[in-house]
Structure 1
Amino acid sequence: MTAMTGLHADLGLTLAVGIVCAVPTVILAGPVYARWIAPRLADVRPDATLVTQFTGAGRHAGPEPTPAVASAGPGAQHRDEIRPRAGVPTGLAVTAVLVPVALMLLRAVAETALDESSRLRAALTFAGEPLVAMGGGLLFALGVTLVHQGRSGEETRTSLNDSLKSVATILLIIGGGGAFNQVLQDSGIGDAIASAAKGAHVNVIVLGWLIALLLSLTTGSATVGIVSATGIVAPLIGTGGGLEASLLVVAIGAGSLGLNYVNHAGFWLVKESFGMSLTQAAKTQTAVQTLVSVLGLGMALLLSILA
């Protein structure tokens, strides 16, 4: 939304162009690359607690114990505790995931379409703050769990506590990555790259992609890459919008994803969750993100030629 606003791109056209670029990109960077790289990764061992938590492996799969069995002793009580929980319907689960996304999109729309003095805009801006939006998604998920599954508050509290145990180390590592990210941003390296890029004489789509890529790599923030690249290339296309602006939005977005490495929090999340070494994470997370970035640029350039 930031790039579309800064480049005066049409929302509908940008979404259409994005879908056209995304389909072959997702296929090649997803299942095709996965089938090739999977045999070349040896001894990847995800954390056992996470595997159990997300797949239910090791849970008792038999019928529920009868009341007599459940009260027969400590062993029977344990068997009752590990019986599978009723699953949440897929639609509700997907809705819970989309709640934060919807809130952040509403904020972007409000900031674009509503007057600054509007109370509705102020409310949507607050609700769309990333931390507030994620909190809203969490509260929605908790409500769905309590109402649909009929679980008590104590059971929900215990479940939340247990869910934190397996990711506590990952959260600490992500925090460290975020601190490194801020150090890089405060060093001014992003401003230096942006200043050097202004004098480059290359295709505007390639330029937008390259600036977003370099800034994302050096600062560890895709947002910094998108915002800075948009500000630098916007004067080069004027206020006409059209297909070129939409393709440039796609290229900038693609550039911000590439070379996702150790100063990105997402890199550490994937690495630690799947029990990978740095090399294995580079072959998967970094490689996939970079494939998406390069293929996205390639599709944007192809469409610009065909158009």
Structure 2
Amino acid sequence: MPILLTFFAILALVLLVAFVKLDTFISFILIAIALGFATGMEIPAIGKSIQTGIGGTLGDLILIIGFGAMLGKLVAESGAAQRITDALINVFGEKYLQWGLALAGFIIGIPLFYNAGFIIVVPLIFTIAASTKLPLLYVGIPMLSALSVAHGFLPPHPSPAAIALQLKADVGQTLIYGIIISIPAIAIAGPIFGRTLKKYKPQIDGNLFVIKDIPKEKQPTLGISLLVALMPVFLLTFSSFTKKYFPDSQLIKLVSEPYIGMLISLLLAMYLLGIRQGDSIKTVSKQLEEAFKSSAGILLIIGGAGALKQILKDSGTSDYIGQQLQGLDINPLILGWTIAAVLRLCVGSATVAGLTAVGILAPLIQNQVGIKPELMVLSIGAGSLLFSHLNDGGFWLFKEYFNLSIKDTIKTWSVMETIVSVVGLIGVLILNLFV
């Protein structure tokens, strides 16, 4: 019965989000309340679970995502993203242009949320395609595949960061493993797959691609741009190693907290990309305020998913499902990928798919011996990227900006996302043999 109730709850969530078009956060709360009633919970207990779920899920995450959004805003507005892209194009040249763009997309994608990153890199893609006379998708897919990989695999992006905290995974190790499996995923879905897309020649409305053009003399230097964009990676990976060797150091423990790493990165960006470039504190603060507003919707979705997860836990549903799933003769990493993939196909949102999957799987994962939670984070993240189609906002963003038909968008964008997802799972399974 609990499994059937969970199935109907997820089905109802899909209907509310994908077909009724109700706000995702409200949909999560309604389904959480309904599932609480259906499983026999008392009204005060339902309210308590929802409050605990939202508070416990957002906790540190609101700081990580908030600081991450602010950092991404400064990287975009200062011209640092443009500087990185231009430099890598010069280094790789036209022959290896796709690889340079994939690397640029990956570096830019670390601090920038997906939609923000998309809006930033698309005009760059268009400019590069026009100047080199190369096919648009041949140039664009490597960059966009890298953005998608960062979105699905790497903290401090919302979904992998939230899943890591739910599973008590080490965020630094998750980032390290994520970078390892990102390399083949980007290579195959980006430059290699992109070479097959030269036949697509969409006619683009140039008015869509208006970007704030920052003269080179006003852009930060390449060294500063790379330092700021990659600082979260440096701090998270460094602290992941050092805390093992200095377990009693209070300073190392402090810096090892992901939100502290993001705060340090943000403070550095405020100075190097703002104040040092001639902006006043007031101007920089205004940019940060706008950035945090843009992350509010993501935070609400994550909070709503936390509420549903807590209802599943407090009603005993998660424990029951975990016990039943333990009897299945299937690798938990494959199971995590599969559940997230099915939810992705139904709901569309990678974030919703990943967070809903972890709520279902948490008891099973916690009781498994030999499965690293960091790899489960990546497995679920990979599954949540599978086959973006008509119910995903990213699908329509790509379709409209690149002026493709629905059929051609499926043959390009959807296939690219599927390659990222499948290669990501294969990478996780191989990595599991060695760590």
Alpha-carbon separation, structure 1, partners of 2:217 and 2:375: 47
Aligned residue number for residue 100 of structure 1: 232
1:142-177 Cα offsets, whole Å, 9 max, x none, are 31145754x2528x828966x96xx99xx76x7556
Say if 1:121 and 1:22 are closer, same or farther in 2 by CA, change over 3 A.
closer
- Work out whether 1:296 is the aligned partner of 2:424: yes
Deviation track 1:246-279 (CA, whole Å, cap 9, x = no partner) reads 87665444334435678888x4996599577895
Superposed CA offset, 1:19-56 (max 9, x none): 3x4443221111233344575473555775x6432xx3
Pick from 211, 226, 240 the counterpart of residue 52 of structure 1: 211
**How far has the Cα of 1:139 moved from its partner?**
2.9
Asked if the contact 2:337–2:384 (Cα under 8 Å) also holds between the matched residues in 1, the reply is yes
Alpha carbons 1:226, 1:252 under 8 Å: kept: yes
In structure 2, relative to structure 1, the CA distance for the partners of 1:246 and 1:270 (3 Å cut) is same
Asked if the contact 2:318/2:362 (under 8 Å) is kept, the reply is no
Query: In the alignment, what sits opposite 1:67?
Result: none
The number of aligned residues is: 258
Q: TM-score, normalised by structure 1?
A: 0.54
Local SS of the residue matching 2:223 = helix
Listed as ranges, the matches of 1:1-307 within 5 Å are: 2=164, 19=180, 21-37=181-197, 39-40=199-200, 42-43=202-203, 45=205, 48=208, 51-53=210-212, 56=213, 85-105=217-237, 119-120=250-251, 123-124=254-255, 128-129=258-259, 133-145=261-273, 149=277, 151=278, 153=280, 157=283, 175-176=296-297, 179=300, 182-183=303-304, 186-187=307-308, 191=312, 195=321, 197-214=325-342, 220=352, 222=354, 225=357, 229=361, 231-236=363-368, 238-239=369-370, 251-259=379-387, 267=394, 274=401, 279=406, 287-301=415-429
C-alpha RMSD of matched pairs (Å): 5.7
In structure 2, the gaps of 5 or more residues are 1-154, 156-163
**Quick one: percent identity of the two aligned structures?**
20
Q: 1:228 to 1:260 in 2, by over 3 A?
A: farther
Find the counterpart in structure 1 of residue 47 from structure 2: none
TM-score normalised by length of structure 2: 0.41
Give per-residue Cα distances to partners, 1:93-120, cap 9 Å, x unaligned: 11111223444556766887877x9743
Contact 2:387 2:418 in 1 (8 A): yes
In 1, Cα distance between equivalents of 2:425 and 2:234: 27
Contact 1:96–1:140 (8 Å) recurs in 2: yes
Query: Which structure: larger Rg?
Result: 1
Secondary structure, counterpart of 2:386 in structure 1:
coil
